[in-house]
C-alpha cells in the first residue's frame, strides 16, 4: 500500500530555533519534495510553562527567509488543522479517555512529595509495572475512591500502562532496527489535569496519526522517546499506519566533543540561530545567519551537508539538486561536526554566483547607513571588481570603500615604503598624461601610462605604488587601472593632486 508522503516539522516555541532544528526541517522538506509530498509545520506548544512570546513568529520568518515553504501550517491552514497543539485540547482529551476506557492507561494521584519519598526509598525508582501497585492510582484505589478524588478536584495525571518484558522494535531509516525491552520504560505521564493538557508524547503521536504523517524525521535526541511512541501507536491500534522513523545525527561542536550549543557560537564567534533573536526577558541579542550576511542558498547548502553526503565530490547544490539527491541511506549515524569555516566558504561561493546588481541591492542598507548614495550600476561594477575577495556582502565596504570615498589619510607604513623622493614629481607628470587620455578605459590607460613610463625610463613599480597609495590610501585593491577607470578621470586626478599636496616628501638620506 503506498501512501502519500507527509512529513512535519514540530518545534516547540520555547525560544529561537537552533540551527540544528533548521537542518531537521530542511531534511523534512527535501524528502517531502522528492516524494511529491507535503511539508507541514506543527507548533508543539502544550508546555505552557516554557512558552516564549515571539518564538512561533520567529520560526515562520526563518522558513520564509530560507524559502522553504510549508504546505500546511498555522499561518497557511490546511485540511488537518488546527496546527497549533494548544488549539487541539479537546482532541487529545478524547484519545486519553479512549486509553483509560480500554485500561491501557490509568489515573495517578501521587503528589510530588510522595514521589520523592519513593525515590528515596527505592534505588533507581521507576514508575512502572514493578512499582505501580505500591502507588496511589486508579489501579490501587477503588472506583469510588477515584471518583471522590476527582470530584474534589484533586490534581492527577494519566499514565500510560507499559506491560513489562515485551520487545519493542523501532525501524529507523537511518539506524536500522532498534529493539528495546519494554521493562526499561516507565509509565510516562501522558496527560495532566492541572492544565487539561497532554504531554509531548501523547500530543505528538495523536497528531502524527490524525495528520496522516508518513515519516517522522527528527533529531536523535528524540530516539529514546520512539519506543514509547511505538507503544502508544499499538495501544491506539494504529500500527498499520504508524509513520516510519528517521532520527538525524546530532550537530556537534567544531571540536567534535558534545552537542553544538549557543555557548560555542559565542566562544568562537559564529551564529547558532538562523535569524537574530532578542530575548524578550533579558533583552540579550543573539546573532543570526541572516543578519550576519549569509545568503539563503549558502545556509541551505551548508546545512544539507551536515549529516548527509551525496557520495560524490560535489559540494555546491541548488535546492532542486538537493531535493533530487537526498536519501536516508547517505545520512550518517554519527554526529556531524559543525565546521563554521565551511559555512563561510559556501557563502563566498554563492556570492560569486550572485549577479552583481543583486549584490548591489543588498549593500544598499549599509551605504544608506553611511549616508552614501551611489547609482546601483556603479555599486554593481565595484562588486564585479572585488567580489572574489569577499565572503560577505558587508565586507565589500571594507574591501572597497575607496570606490565611494577618497582617502582622508594615507597608511603610514605604505607611505614610508612606497613614497619616494621622486614620487611627487613623477605623479604630477602622470596627472598630465592622464589628462590627455580621452578613452579612460582600463586597457587604454594601461597602454598609454606604460608607454610614458618606458619613454621616460621610470621604474614601473615605483610609479604604480605611488599611484595606488594616492588613489586608495594604502597598498590594497584590484588592478590599479580598473580602479581609476571606474572612479573616473576627474576623481583620479583629484586624488593624485591631493596626495601630492598632503603626503610629506621623504627626507633624503
Catalytically active residues, by annotation: 262
Residue among 62, 199, 204, 414 that touches ligand GLU (CB under 6 A): 204
* Least distance to ligand GLU, CB of residue 245, Å: 9
- Least distance (Å) between residue 43 CB and ligand GLU: 9
Cβ contacts of 473 within 8 Å, gap of 6 or more: 402, 407, 408, 409, 410, 411
**Could you say whether residue 41 binds ligand GLU (CB under 6 A)?**
no
Residue 60 CA to residue 197 CA, distance in Å, equals 24
**Least distance to ligand GLU, CB of residue 218, Å:** 4
Residue whose C-alpha cell reads 521493562 in the numeric block: 183
Instruction: Report in angstroms how near the CB of residue 10 gets to ligand GLU at its nearest.
Output: 4
Shortest distance, position 9 Cβ to ligand GLU, whole Å: 7
56 is a site residue for ligand GLU (CB under 6 A): no
Q: How far is the CB of 185 from ligand GLU (least distance, A)?
A: 17
C-beta closer to ligand GLU: residue 11 or 198: 11
Query: Which residue in this structure is represented by grid cell 504523517?
Result: 213
Among 33, 218, 418, 495, binds ligand GLU (CB under 6 A): 218
Residues 387-426 that bind ligand GLU (CB under 6 A): none
Measured in degrees and rounded to the nearest 5, phi and psi for residue 462 equal -60, -45
CA 504 to each of CA 53, 83, 415, 420, 500: distance values in angstroms, whole numbers, following the listed order: 61, 71, 9, 10, 8
Among 10, 180, 242, 390, binds ligand GLU (CB under 6 A): 10
x/- mask, ligand GLU, residues 79-118, rule CB under 6 A, reads: ----------------------------------------
In sequence order, what are the beta bridge partners of 288? 273
Minimum CB–partner distance for residue 45 and ligand GLU (Å)? 9
**Binding-residue pattern over the window 151 to 190 for ligand GLU, x denoting contact by CB under 6 A:** ----------------------------------------
Q: How far apart are CA 351 and CA 334, in angstroms?
A: 31
C-alpha to C-alpha distance for 467 and 460, rounded to whole angstroms: 11
Nearest to 129 by CA among 186, 169, 190, 181: 186
Among 28, 30, 44, 288, which residue interacts with ligand GLU (rule: CB under 6 A)?
A: 44
Looking at beta carbons only, is 66 or 487 nearer to ligand GLU?
66
Helix, strand, coil shares of the chain, percent, nearest 5, are 50, 10, 40
Question: Among residues 51, 65, 125, 222, which is the contact residue for ligand GLU, using CB under 6 A?
Answer: 222
Q: Which stretch binds ligand GLU (CB under 6 A): 8-16, 184-192, 407-415, 498-506?
A: 8-16
Distance CA 163, CA 171 (A): 20
Residue 99 CB, shortest distance to ligand GLU, in Å, is 19
Instruction: Candidates 4-12, 270-278, 313-321, 426-434: pick the segment binding ligand GLU (CB under 6 A).
Output: 4-12
For residues 226 and 325, which CB has a smaller minimum distance to ligand GLU in the complex? Answer: 226
β-sheet bridge partners, residue 7: 39, 215
10 vs 141 by CB, closer to ligand GLU: 10
Residue 114 · residue 146 · CB < 8 Å: no
Residues with Cβ within 8 Å of 106's Cβ and at least 6 positions away in sequence, in order, are: 100, 132, 137, 138, 139, 158, 159, 161, 187
Choose between 107 and 205: whose C-beta lies nearer to ligand GLU: 205
Residue among 45, 11, 15 at smallest CA distance from 282: 15
Residue closer to ligand GLU (CB basis): 204 or 484: 204
Within 8 A by CB and 6+ apart from 17, the residues are 11, 55, 58, 59, 62, 273, 274
Among the residue ranges 10-18, 75-83, 320-328, 439-447, the one whose residues contact ligand GLU (CB under 6 A): 10-18
Count the Cβ atoms, other than its own, within 10 Å of residue 100: 16
The residue within the footprint of ligand GLU, chosen from 5, 6, 7, 11 (CB under 6 A), is 11
Q: Which of 84, 28, 77, 85 is nearest to 214 (CA)?
A: 28
Q: What are phi and psi of 389, to 5 degrees?
A: -95, -5
Sheet with 105-108, edge to edge strand ranges:
105-108, 157-160, 189-192, 197-198
- The 261-300 contact track toward ligand GLU, x by CB under 6 A, reads ----------------------------------------
14/193 with CB nearer ligand GLU: 14
DSSP codes joined into one string, 287-351: -BTTTTT--HHHHHHHHHTSSB--SSS-----HHHHHHH--GGGB-SS-EE--HHHHHHHHHHHH
User: Which is nearer to ligand GLU, 59 or 135 (by Cβ)?
Assistant: 59
Nearest to 399, CA basis, from 410, 385, 419, 409: 385
Measured from the CB atom, is 25 or 463 closer to ligand GLU? 25
Residue 281 CA, chain-centre distance (Å), reads 23
Q: Is 12 in the site for ligand GLU (CB under 6 A)?
A: yes
* Count of residues that bind ligand GLU according to CB under 6 A: 7
Q: How far is the CB of 17 from ligand GLU (least distance, A)?
A: 9
Q: Which residues bind ligand GLU (CB under 6 A)?
A: 10-12, 44, 204, 218, 222
Amino acid at each position: 500500500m503506498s501512501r502519500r508522503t507527509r512529513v512535519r516539522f514540530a518545534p516547540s516555541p520555547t525560544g529561537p530555533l537552533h540551527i540544528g532544528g533548521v537542518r531537521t526541517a530542511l531534511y523534512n522538506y527535501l524528502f517531502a519534495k522528492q516524494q511529491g509530498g507535503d511539508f507541514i509545520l506543527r507548533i508543539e506548544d502544550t508546555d505552557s510553562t516554557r512558552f516564549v512570546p515571539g518564538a512561533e513568529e520567529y520560526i515562520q520568518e526563518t522558513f520564509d527567509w530560507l524559502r522553504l515553504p510549508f504546505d500546511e501550517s498555522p499561518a497557511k491552514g490546511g485540511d488537518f488543522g488546527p496546527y497549533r497543539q494548544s488549539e487541539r485540547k479537546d482532541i487529545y482529551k478524547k484519545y486519553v479517555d479512549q486509553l483509560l476506557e480500554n485500561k491501557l492507561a490509568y489515573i495517578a494521584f501521587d503528589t510530588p512529595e510522595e514521589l520523592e519519598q519513593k525515590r528515596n526509598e527505592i534505588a533507581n525508582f521507576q514508575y512502572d509495572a514493578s512499582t505501580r501497585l505500591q502507588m496511589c492510582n486508579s489501579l490501587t484505589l477503588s472506583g469510588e475512591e477515584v471518583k471522590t478524588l476527582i470530584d474534589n478536584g484533586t490534581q492527577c495525571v494519566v499514565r500510560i500502562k507499559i506491560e513489562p518484558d515485551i520487545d519493542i522494535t523501532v525501524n529507523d531509516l537511518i539506524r536500522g532496527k532498534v529493539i528495546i525491552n519494554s521493562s526499561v520504560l516507565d509509565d510516562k505521564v501522558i496527560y495532566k489535569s492541572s492544565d487539561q493538557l497532554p504531554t509531548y508524547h501523547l500530543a505528538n503521536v495523536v497528531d502524527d496519526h490524525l495528520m496522516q504523517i508518513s515519516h517522522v524525521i527528527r533529531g536523535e535526541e528524540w530516539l529514546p522517546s520512539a519506543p514509547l511512541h511505538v507503544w502508544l501507536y499499538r495501544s491506539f491500534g494504529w500500527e498499520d499506519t504508524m509513520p516510519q522513523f528517521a532520527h538525524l545525527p546530532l550537530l556537534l561542536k567544531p571540536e567534535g566533543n558534545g552537542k553544538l550549543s549557543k555557548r560555542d557560537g559565542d566562544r568562537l564567534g559564529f551564529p547558532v540561530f538562523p535569524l537574530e533573536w532578542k530575548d524578550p526577558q533579558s533583552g540579550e541579542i543573539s546573532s543570526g545567519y541572516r543578519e550576519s550576511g549569509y545568503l539563503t542558498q549558502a545556509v541551505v547548502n551548508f546545512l544539507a551537508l551536515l549529516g548527509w553526503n551525496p557520495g560524490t565530490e560535489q559540494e555546491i547544490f541548488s535546492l532542486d539538486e538537493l531535493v533530487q539527491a537526498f536519501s536516508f541511506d547517505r545520512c550518517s549515524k554519527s554526529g556531524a561536526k559543525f565546521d563554521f569555516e565551511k559555512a563561510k566558504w559556501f557563502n563566498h561561493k554563492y556570492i560569486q554566483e550572485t549577479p552583481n546588481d543583486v549584490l548591489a541591492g543588498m549593500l544598499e542598507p549599509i551605504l544608506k547607513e553611511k549616508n552614501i548614495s551611489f547609482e546601483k550600476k556603479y555599486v554593481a561594477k565595484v562588486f564585479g571588481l572585488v567580489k572574489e575577495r569577499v565572503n560577505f556582502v558587508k565586507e565589500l565596504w571594507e574591501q572597497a570603500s575607496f570606490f565611494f570615498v577618497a582617502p582622508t589619510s594615507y597608511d603610514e607604513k605604505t607611505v614610508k615604503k612606497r613614497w619616494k623622493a621622486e614620487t611627487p614629481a613623477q605623479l604630477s607628470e602622470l596627472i598630465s598624461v592622464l589628462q590627455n587620455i580621452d578613452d579612460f578605459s582600463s586597457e587604454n590607460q594601461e597602454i598609454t601610462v606604460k608607454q610614458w613610463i618606458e619613454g621616460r625610463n621610470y621604474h614601473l613599480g615605483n610609479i604604480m605604488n605611488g599611484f595606488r597609495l594616492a588613489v586608495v590610501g594604502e597598498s590594497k585593491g584590484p588592478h590599479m587601472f580598473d580602479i581609476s577607470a571606474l572612479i573616473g578621470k576627474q576623481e583620479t586626478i583629484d586624488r593624485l593632486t591631493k596626495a601630492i599636496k598632503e603626503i610629506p616628501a621623504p627626507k633624503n638620506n
